[in-house]
A = this chain, B = another copy of it.
Amino acid sequence: MTSLDHPTGPAASTIETARITWSLIAEPTDGAALAVRAALGSEDALDLARHGTVEDLMRHLKGKVPIDDSDPAPARKDPRLRAERALARWRQRLATVRVEEVLDHAAARGIRVLTPEHPQWPRQLEDLEATTPHCLWVHGPGDLAELVGSRSVAMVGSRASTPYGEDTASSLAASFARSGGTVVSGGAYGIDAAAHRGALAAEQGATIAVLAGGLDSLYPRGNTRLLEAIRERHLLVTEAPLGTAPTRWRFLARNRLIAALSQAVVVVEASWRSGALSTARHANGLSRHVGAVPGPITSAASAGCHRLIRDEGAVLVTEHSEVLDLLPGGEPSGDGRYARQDELDLLSSSDRRVLDAVPPRSSAAVATIGQEIGIGQDEARSALARLELLGLVEVREGRVRRARPR
């Protein structure tokens, strides 16, 4: 058996062990850890963390670091201080961390760890580049790579949701799951929970909760049953090792995983300052389409969605088919299929009956149209002339067909 068959067991390879170790000693937002990993790879970076000098580390902390909340401002201005603190931080944790114990503890609970070496590791996580997680902790029967590889949409939104938003989230999630898709969300109260519930109710497709804390203690407590149901049937995912409490910073970092694990993001309801908007922004940065559901302008819970549509290029989404259009290969918007349809409203009812008599996908003899709906030839011809002027039909050589959408 190769290490790939036992990636979390005693036979975990050196590289896997190194990645898991990094996840145990550094926060997802530890910029120094990400920088040294980007420069050296997980294994050599870990060697440096264990045995390197401050100067060794300093060489790799030049340039832009993606995220960093681990050092106070003075350290970030002083590369030496920064390197000293990072080494001290890592070594303090290295002194007590026991990878095998952690893996045994996880395995006892049924929690698995995935690294890029694992066949269930989704390749799309590499879109995160320097902020790719060291590893992911997953719990549940689902195969992560399979669940998110072909048809996955994040449905996210405010915790302070309205019944309108919750109904919409459930219903879009249920339709998407019924189409065989995976609904990714954050397991939070409000829109996230409604999306998970809708997907679970569909009895098809799947739903994944991407959490900010360790999988040994489900958060938020009020969603325990929901998260347990997801764990039982599909999958819980996090980059936080067991025993890690969800913090504000970890929620922010978690949002990038929701975006990366999805092929598109739909924000169902979000207040002006909702964290769901950061998920949308991550999706944008990862070249995923972002959709947002509108609502009444009088609802504060929709203000963030309106802002995404208005100012940040999100596609307005009103129904299931428009969620599908956000997936790769879809037509997210602007296809103008119905660009003339409104004028139908102003047609007389007899003209509309004539239009309805024109077959949608083939042509008909002009002479038969009048017969079909019981009006005179001349009347039918005049109606068709009006319809042709509006670009709704095309008449050629005595036959009429629906005009192609302009």
- Residues of A at under 8 Å CB distance from B? 67-69, 71-74, 76, 164, 168, 248, 251-252, 270-278, 281, 293-298, 302-304, 306-307, 309-313, 315-319, 322, 333-339, 341-348, 381-382, 384-386, 388-389, 395
Given A273-B342, A309-B316, the answer on whether A295 and B296 have CB atoms closer than 8 Å is yes
- Once the chains bind, are A341 and B72 in contact (CB under 8 Å)? no
Smallest distance from the beta carbon of A309 to chain B beta carbons, Å? 5
Copies in the complex: 2
Q: Which residue of B lies closest to A291 (CB)?
A: B310
Contact A315 B304 (CB under 8 A): no
Q: Which residues of B contact A395 (CB under 8 A)?
A: 73
Contact of A316 among B294, B337, B342 (CB under 8 A): B294
Are the CB atoms of A342 and B278 closer together than 8 Å?
yes
Q: Are A274 and B311 in contact (CB under 8 A)?
A: no
List residues of chain B with CB within 8 A of the CB of A319: 297
Q: How distant is A84 from chain B, measured CB to nearest CB, in Å?
A: 17
A306→B319 CA distance, assembly (Å): 11
Complex Cα gap A337–B293 (Å): 21
CB <8 Å contact, A275 and B346? yes
Contacts of A307 in B (CB 8 A): 338
CB pair A310 B297 closer than 8 Å: no
Shortest Cβ distance from A294 into B: residue: B294
Closest residue of B by beta carbon distance from A348: B248
Identity of the chain B residue whose Cβ is nearest the Cβ of A76 in the assembled complex: B385
Q: Please, which residues of chain B bring their CB within 8 A of the CB of A271?
A: 345
How far is it, in angstroms, between the C-alpha of A271 and the C-alpha of B342 when the chains are bound?
A: 8
Contact A342 B164, CB 8 Å, known A316-B316, A319-B297, A388-B73: no
User: What are 25 A-B residue pairs whose CB atoms fall within 8 Å in the complex?
Assistant: A71-B385, A73-B381, A73-B382, A73-B384, A164-B298, A252-B343, A252-B346, A271-B345, A273-B341, A273-B342, A274-B342, A275-B342, A275-B345, A293-B297, A294-B295, A294-B316, A295-B296, A297-B319, A303-B318, A304-B342, A306-B316, A306-B318, A310-B317, A311-B333, A312-B336
Pick the most buried of A74, A318, A322, A337: most chain B CB atoms within 10 A of its CB.
Answer: A318
Closest to A68 in B: B389
What residues on B are CB-neighbors of A384 within 8 Å? 73
A346 and B381 contact, CB distance less than 8 A? no
Query: Are the C-beta atoms of A311 and B297 separated by less than 8 Å?
Result: no
Q: Which residues of B contact A278 (CB under 8 A)?
A: 342-343, 346
Does B385 contact A346, Cβ atoms closer than 8 Å? no
A345 to chain B: which residues have CB within 8 Å?
A: 271, 273-275
Q: Give the chain B neighbours of A312 by CB distance below 8 A.
A: 334, 336, 339
Q: How far is the CA of A76 from the CA of B386 in the complex (A)?
A: 11
With a 10 A CB-CB cut-off, give which of A67, A69, A73 has the most chain B CB atoms.
A73
CB distance from A362 to the nearest CB of B (A): 20
A198 to chain B, nearest CB (A): 15
Chain B residues in 8 Å Cβ range of A68: 389
Closest to A158 in B: B345
Contact yes or no, A389 B69, CB < 8 A: yes
Q: Within 8 Å CB of A386, what residues of B? A: 69
Q: A152 to nearest B CB, angstroms?
A: 22
- Assess A339 versus B311: contact at CB under 8 Å? Given A381-B72, A385-B76: yes
Give the distance in Å from the alpha carbon of A168 to the alpha carbon of B382 in the complex: 40
The verdict on A72 contacting B306 (CB below 8 Å), with A297-B319, A346-B278 known, is no
Most buried by B among A274, A297, A318, A381: A297
A49 smallest CB distance to B (angstroms)? 22
Give complex CA distance A74, B380 in Å.
Answer: 13
Q: How far is the CB of A348 from chain B (nearest CB, A)?
A: 6
